[in-house]
Amino acid sequence: MKRNTLTKAVAAIFVAAAASSSFAQKISDDVVKIGVLTDMSGTYSDLAGKGSVVAAEMAIEDYSKSKTILGKKIELISADHQNKADITANKAREWFDKEKVDVIVDLVTTSAALAAMEIGEQKNKITLNSGAASLDITRSKCTANNVHWVYDTYNLGKSREALVKAGKKSWFFVTADYAFGHNLERDTAQIVTSNGGTVVGSVRHPFPGSDFSSFLLKAQSSGAQVIGLANAGQDTINSVKQAAEFGISQKQTIVPLLTFITDVHSLGLKAAQGLSVAESFYWDLNDKTRAWSKRFYDKHKRMPSMVHAGVYSSVMNYLKAIESTKTDDTKAVMDKLKSTPIDDGLFKGNIQVNGKFSHDFYVFEVKKPNESKGPWDYYKLVATIPAAEASAPLDKSCKLVK
């Protein structure tokens, strides 16, 4: 009799387990909701901002014209985090708790990204970061529910290795005085010194800055062969312009360590020609990127930056992962993303255990005005750095790396 009861009990447990696992094969809240949290109006709004929302919309429509997945609706919501960590944290909390958002994308600006990642870990929801730069995102600050999609400060530093090997050995850094600038300087300086170069000095400028003349003069008087600009967006644009004004670019090489095509567009080829730029996406790389970028251009009226391409790619692959696992459960989707090679015409590579999407990186040179056939035709490809070399080695400082 006892055995019979035990058997029934075990059977009952199995039935319950089976029932609950079929419960897991379900879309939470009956909707897949994607949130684009970005800088809509500040320093980074051109390289991310509205364009990221356009990219996310494109991905949803390309995935399903009727905007449905597994019979449920796909919804999109967006907001401006103004590059502030506290606004980001509050918005993420509100979205995950009240708005039924399942994933947050874009997240430009490192401080905002880290805040969102922490909330994502607390609430067991996914963040797919296409905008922020810091290597710490996949090292000391890594989280289980995050993917770092497009670029990081290691990629950017590594892209300069060829320069150092070619003889540009002495470097001076002009650095934006906040986490991103410090990290970019740190990771580039490491590449410089490990290849036999020296860091002659560095100067930190307030973020955001507008007049860099005194910092550039310091760089000039240091006599370094290379002046590395560890800043981005407006700061980079102004630094490059002012360096040309003071005749610094004649004797020393200015290397902007993080540049987006939107920056070059704003500077103009006359001021930007000859600059060495490193990105992981360019609209004119091949037929696939050209075709996609043209469709993006028709909607946004500007060519996509690598961040925009990353938002499209991360949303598309997220939806595909849900389709394949039949659920939007965070762990299932993350496991799927980390175990599936990605090749969507924009990026090709694999997502590593620490959340880094490892793919190729490219070094471009900005064309001279007479080499360009029209607006946005700005880059010529100088080198391709394969993924294995471009991405930082896995490091135990990330708790996910065993």
Span interacting with other proteins, options 119-127, 258-266, 280-288, 309-317, rule CB under 8 A = 258-266
Among 225, 262, 276, 352, binds other proteins (CB under 8 A): 262
Minimum CB separation of residue 176 from other proteins in Å reads 11
Enumerate residues 6+ apart whose C-beta is below 8 A from 74: 31, 32, 33, 34, 60, 63, 64, 67, 68, 319
Q: Please state the closest distance from residue 251 (CB atom) to other proteins, in A.
A: 10
Q: Is residue 231 a contact point for other proteins (CB under 8 A)?
A: no
Is 41 a residue that touches other proteins (CB under 8 A)?
A: yes
For other proteins, give the closer residue by CB, 8 or 299. 299
266 binds other proteins (CB under 8 A): yes
What is the distance between the alpha carbons of residues 326 and 247, in angstroms, rounded to a whole number?
60
Size of interface with other proteins, in residues (CB under 8 A)? 40
197 φ, ψ to 5°?
-95, 175
CB of residue 45 vs other proteins: minimum separation in angstroms? Answer: 5
Q: What is the DSSP string of 269-329?
A: HHHHTT-EEEES--TTSSHHHHHHHHHHHHHHSS---HHHHHHHHHHHHHHHHHHHHTS--
Give the x/- contact pattern for other proteins in 146-185, rule: CB under 8 A: -------------------------------x--------
Give the distance from CA 264 to its chain's centroid. Answer: 18
| 34 or 272: CB nearest other proteins | 272
In the complex, the smallest distance separating the C-beta of residue 244 from other proteins, rounded to whole angstroms, is 10
User: Which span (35-43, 101-109, 129-137, 363-371) binds other proteins, by CB under 8 A?
Assistant: 35-43
- The distance of closest approach from Cβ of residue 264 to other proteins in the complex, given in angstroms and rounded to an integer, is 10
For other proteins, the binding residue among 42, 131, 157, 355 (CB under 8 A) is: 42
C-alpha to C-alpha distance for 280 and 386, rounded to whole angstroms: 11
The length of the chain in residues reads 402
Q: How far apart are alpha carbons 127 and 121 in whole angstroms?
A: 9
Q: What burial letters (b/e) apply to 363-400, b meaning 16+ CB within 10 Å? A: bbbbbeeeebeeebebbeeeeebebeebbbebeeebeb
Instruction: Give the binding range for other proteins (CB under 8 A) out of 37-45, 56-64, 158-166, 348-356.
Output: 37-45
CB of 203 to other proteins, least distance (A): 5
Site string for other proteins, 196-215 (x = CB under 8 A): -------xxxx-xxxx-xxx
Determine, following the binding rule CB under 8 A, whether residue 267 of this chain makes contact with other proteins. Answer: yes
Q: Does residue 345 interact with other proteins by CB under 8 A? A: no
- Tokens representing 245 are 């004004």
Among 30, 86, 245, 343, the residue binding other proteins under the rule CB under 8 A is 245
CB 43 to other proteins: min, Å: 7
Q: Could you write out the DSSP letters of every residue in 333-398?
A: HHHHHHHS-EESSS-EEEE-TTSBEEE-EEEEEEPPGGG--STT--EEEEEEE-HHHHSPPP-TTS
CB atoms within 10 A of CB 221: 10
Token output for 102: 């399942």
Tell me which residue of 110, 229, 81, 236 sits closest to 178, measured CA to CA.
110
Residues near other proteins (CB under 8 A): 41-43, 45-46, 49, 177, 203-206, 208-211, 213-215, 217-218, 220-221, 233-234, 237-238, 241-242, 245-248, 262-263, 265-268, 270-271
